[in-house]
Structure formats: structure tokens, C-alpha cells
A and B are shown apart, each in its own frame.
Chain A
Amino acid sequence: MVSPGSSVTDRVRALVAAHRGDRGALLPILHRIQAEFGYVDSDVVPVLAAELNISRADVHGVITFYTDFRSEPAGRTVLKLCRAEACQSVGAEQLVAHAEQVLGIKCGQTTPDGSVTLEQVFCLGNCALGPAGQVNDRVRGRLSPARLDALLTETVNR
């Protein structure tokens, strides 16, 4: 989606059309765009605004309000680590520090080679088996630094 050719515009229009019958469809549409392109490029804003008959500012406002919507592509593996209270009680902060050190990046960043994006998240609903994390949408539990290292090696090298 780097150069928004007409194909991207067409695709976005098609996604909007697929949700034509849905009430308040902007979020489902944005989820579909992100699932397909990996992020929500600012170039889709005017297309969505025109198709949905709302202002560009409104579309932009929605995209930026929600942390899920990325403005640029993520790494090939997205690692989310829970930093909420229940996971903190079993060492989430140390796990996050370990991940940052091993990957050489901070939460919210992607490794320079584009392999891993590290993000913090507040609760994954796995609070009795913390520290919890999510690797490409798969939830993981009881993540010790060693288990995290093994998981990263396995996922990144695949």
C-alpha cells in the first residue's frame, strides 16, 4: 500500500461494499483493511471518508483513537506481553525487560531487520497463568524468560 494505486482504492471500496448493510461499519471495515494490508495507511482515509460519507477528520480520529490500528507495517512476528496487574504479580515487568534486552528494542518498536514487533498489552484474559503473552494472535501462558526465548527462536526462525 506504499503507492496507493487504484487497486488499493478498489479493494477498500469493495470492503466497504461488503459491509454496506452493517450499522456503524467503520470498525469492522478498518479491521478488514488491517487484516489484509497489515496496517491502515493514511491514504485510505479519503477513500473511506468518501465511501461512508463522513469527514476525513472523523475517519482519522477513529483510526488514531484505537491502539489496534497501525499506521505502518508490523514486524513478521508480533509479540505482545501483558503488563497488567495479575501478570505483574508473577513477574511481567521482568519479562518485558528481558524481551526488550534480548530484542534490543523497546515496547512499541520493531527490530531493525523487521522480524519482531514488541508491544505491551493490558490483560489477555489468561490472568491465572501469567505472565501471559500473545505471539501472532496465539495466547501463551506462564512465560518465563527461558520459555519466551524458546518461543521466539521457534517462531522467528520458521
Chain B
Amino acid sequence: MTTIYVPRDSAALSLGADEVAAKLRQAAGDRPIQIIRNGSHGMLWLEPLVEVVTERGRIGYGPVEPEAVDDLVAAGLFDGADHELCQGVVADLPWLKDQTRLCFARVGVTDPLDPDDYVAHGGLAGLRKALEKTPEEVVAEVTDSGLRGRGGAGFPAGIKWKTVAGTPGPLKFICCNADEGDSGTFADRMLMEGDPFTLIEGMAIAAYAVGASEGYIYIRSEYPDAVRTMREAIAVARDQGWIGEKAGHRFDLHVRVGAGAYICGEETAMLESLEGKRGMVRAKPPIPAITGLFGKPTVVNNVLTLASVPAILAGGAAAYQELGVERSRGTQVFQLAGNVARGGIFETAFGMTLEKLIHTYGGGTRTGRPVRAVQVGGPLGAYLPADGLDLPMEYEAFAAAGAMLGHGGVVVFDDTVDMGAMARFAMEFCAEESCGKCTPCRVGAVRGVEVIDKIRAGQDPDDNLALLGDLCELMTEGSLCAMGGLTPMPVRSALLHFADDFGPGSPNGGGHR
């Protein structure tokens, strides 16, 4: 029996992985083969990446288009034979070997929905360790690890948990933020599709630590595959007695699906949405840890925050804490996206420079042209110029550089990018996605688009640039949440580093060529 892996990750599906799997079955003829639909290893430029189990290890072939399958099989794919698409032993590829995979340890390796495979690869070790401790000890472990929220703001997870644990109440919630609306980010999705049990385990640990009995995973509707996989995984976990009625401690989990609103990634808007309301941002205080979902004490954490917890409990806070730099401890799951030759997931300790990630691992741009700009941290993050990439990837260094690490998404642009257009887009996006609660954001963003249009058309540029500056100031100072408050970040950084793109005769004006 030959065992073949063909990813079910939606990035792989987007390039025909299902068709590849079907073709492989066909081409196998009488030869007995077993196809396992794994998650993706995160080397997305190689997708669909087909792996064959041999005595040398798992041999990879990629990118495999459906049309190439017959040829590959004829060349001896089932025996791990050489071919121009053959990448060798996948686990030995430098891109993977150079990573420190804790959160993503099993993604791509295991069958995402096979509970035995999960346990065989270290799954449940964290939950078991947690249940041997008191809830207070678990909170202390997470605090000591230095884990900070991976959803963007970087708030210490242990402190949040401690607040919820310390707030008495018969009903408390764990809410996982899987809204992942930032362009350039897909790690939440890949974890949910590639190793959903880890998220479930992390949520079960959180529930035990703070005394919560109910959990919700709020997944954006743009991720139908993640929704399906997560729901199936929860059913399996209930069946296994990891959660639900059969579990040792009372905790059950539900998936809720968003409905196309970026603002529902903001935690209080997400809670409103979970309550069945419009996704309007709530004023803070009260904080969700004390007055959260339906007014109850609630942990709101990002997918990666919760999915990092099992490894922390399993390996101990000290080991996690040893990784990273300054106040950014442990590993971050970076996501390389946009115009990049080798895009995908790169999990590594905080502190690697952006330069190294983009050039050494990413291989520069996909188009082969020079890198001109990089946006880190999603649509509310700053644009950095090509000569400003020698920046260690950690929260404080980015803040000091006027930028934001955010959810770890890195979007690369080549030298054809029109940065005036990107600044305009930042305002357009804010106008489109604002919840409408406060004027600086709702009206400011619309005005921002108009003013940038005037500047780009050459109308009173000096006056209008001053006006844009004032508008950015007003949005930064006067917005209730980071949607309006941080939209000026991409706009101002584009103005600062790429001022030439804002004139009517600018070289890159008028869009890409």
C-alpha cells in the first residue's frame, strides 16, 4: 500500500488539489494507494504539493497541476522517483527546517480530522498537563510564557485570562476570533483547516483555566472550507470526549459564521455579532473580560493565541519564553503574501528581520522586479520602503518605526505599485467597512478618499495635503476603535516614503502597468 498526501487546504484547492487527488486515484489503476488529505505545509508556491511516503521519508512533488499527474505517475511518482517537480524529502527542505514550529507543528503533517494521528503527533499533551494543574497554575503558566495576543494588539494573554478567572460568575465564555479579515493573513485559516484539534485543545485549556463552560469560534464567511473542517473536528472531539458531555470538565464548543463585515474582527463588534446584532463596536470600558458576550466574563483571543497554548503547556512556559526577543516572546506565525516569489507560512521566534524573511525565504518578488514597498500588519498597518526592511520583527521595534506587526501578515509590492492609489484604497476600505458609530471614521474616511483624489489630480496640492494631514490627525485622535484610529497609518506612511506617487505626473500614477 502506497500512502500519498494531497492537501485539502483551500490554497491548494484553489489550484486544483481535488482534481489532482482524483487523477492520482485514476492513474493508480490496480496499484493499492491510500490518499490522505492533509493540511498544507505552508510552502504555498509549491501547491498543490503531493507527497509520497517512502522509506527515505515523505517525498514531495510540486507544484502539481492536474494535467501533470499522468506524466508524474509514469515517471514513477508512487515510488518517489526523480522528476523535475520532485522537491526531495519535504521535512528536509530549508524553508521548513529553518522554522521553529510550535503552533504549526502538525499542520501539513497530519490528517486534520484523525484523532489518533493527532495524539500520535503530540496532541493532547498540553491539555493533559493543564488538567494536572490547578486553574490558577495554568493561568500563571500562560502569563510566564510571555504569550501576547496574536490578533494584532499584542495584549498579554495571561493577564486577560487572570481577569476572567478572577471575575466570579456561573456562566463564562471563551470566544475565538477567527474573523481574519486582514489582507495578507491566512494563518488562522490554515490552522483551522490543517490542525483544528489544536485550536479545540487550546480553547479547552482556556476554559479550564478561567472556569468557562461554553466556547464560540467566530469564523468569517469567506472561509467556507475552514467552517466545514472546524465543525467536523468539533464533532470528532465530542465523540472522543475531549469536549462536551463526555469530557472531564464541562466545556462545549460552537462555530458561528460571520456575514461579510471586516469590523466584526474587532472584539466587541464580534461579540455584538455573536449576540445576533449589527456588528457595532462597543465603547470600552467595560472590557469583555468582565462584561463580554451577553454581559458575561469572556476571554476573546485570536486563533493563533489559543492554538499556541497547548505547546506552551506541553513544553513549559520557560522553554517558550526563551524564544524571541525583548517583550516579544515565543514564536510568531508570519505570513508572506502578495507579490512574492515564495509565499506562505513561516513560523519562527520573534526577532528575524523583515529583510531576511522577504529576500532569503520569500525570494523577492514573484514578478522578478525590485521590491518597492511592503505592508505589514494588514490594511491598518504601515507601508515600509524597500530600504527600511532591516527591522527585527517584534512588536516594540515595529511600533518605534511607526509601523505595526499586527497579525504577522507581510504583503510585498514590486516597483510598479502606485502608492498614491494604495493610500486612497486605505481610506476607501475604511469608508466601506466602518461600523459607522463615530464621525471621524465614518465621515473622515469618505473625505479622505476625496482629498486624495484632489491631490492626485493636482488640485491645490499644498492645501489639500495639509487637509489630509488634519484629517489623519482627527481620525487618529477621535476614533473609538483602531479601524478609524489606524487607517491613517498606511496613508501617512505612504505619504512619508512615497511622496512622489501623489502628484498628477507621478511615475507610477494611474495604477499598475
Q: Which residues of A contact B (CB under 8 A)?
A: 22-28, 30-31, 58, 61-62, 65-69, 84-91, 93-94, 121-130, 132, 134, 137-142
What would be 7 A-B contacts, judged by CB atoms less than 8 Å apart?
A: A23-B274, A89-B339, A89-B414, A93-B512, A122-B181, A123-B182, A139-B10
Q: Do B275 and A24 touch (CB < 8 A)? A: yes
Chain A residues near B344 (CB, 8 Å)? 128
In Å, the complex CA distance between A88 and B294 comes to 39
**Bound Cα distance from A67 to B181, whole angstroms:** 14
Would B222 and A121 count as touching, CB distance under 8 A? Answer: yes
Q: Tell me the interface secondary structure of chain A in the complex.
A: loop
Does B260 sit at the interface, judged by CB under 8 A?
yes
B150–chain A nearest beta-carbon distance, Å? 16
Q: Give the CA-CA distance A85 to B410 in the complex, in Å.
A: 11
In the assembled complex, the CB of B201 is this many whole angstroms from the nearest CB of chain A, namely 22
> Chain B residues in contact with chain A, CB under 8 A?
10-11, 13-15, 44-45, 47, 180-186, 188-189, 221-226, 254, 256-262, 273-279, 294, 335-340, 343-344, 366-367, 375, 379, 409, 411-414, 417, 422, 425, 429, 432-433, 511-512
Judge whether B411 and A127 touch: CB under 8 Å: yes
Given A84-B379, A139-B14: A62 in contact with B278 (beta carbons within 8 A)? yes
Of the candidates A58, A84, A94, the one having the most CB atoms from chain B within 10 angstroms of its own CB is A84
Q: Separation in Å of the A148 CB from the closest CB of chain B?
A: 13
Partner of B14, one of A25, A67, A140: A140
Note all chain A residues with C-beta closer than 8 A to B432: 122
Q: Are A128 and B335 within 8 A (Cβ)? A: yes
Q: Is the CB of B14 within 8 A of A126?
A: yes
Taking a contact as CB atoms under 8 Å apart, the answer to whether B279 and A88 are in contact is no
Contact check, A127 vs B339: say whether CB atoms are below 8 A apart.
no
B512 pairs with A94, CB closer than 8 A: yes
A135 CB, min distance to chain B CBs, angstroms: 10
Q: Which residues of A contact B340 (CB under 8 A)?
A: 128
Residue contact A27 to B273, C-beta cutoff 8 Å: yes
Cα distance, A87 to B340, chains bound together (Å): 11
A125 to B181, CA, bound (A): 8
7 more contacts with CB within 8 A, not counting A61-B278, A84-B429, A121-B222, are A24-B277, A62-B278, A68-B258, A125-B226, A127-B411, A128-B186, A134-B222
Give bound CA distance, A91 to B273, whole Å: 33
In the complex, which of the residues B180, B274, B343 has the most CB atoms of chain A within 10 Å of its own CB atom?
B343
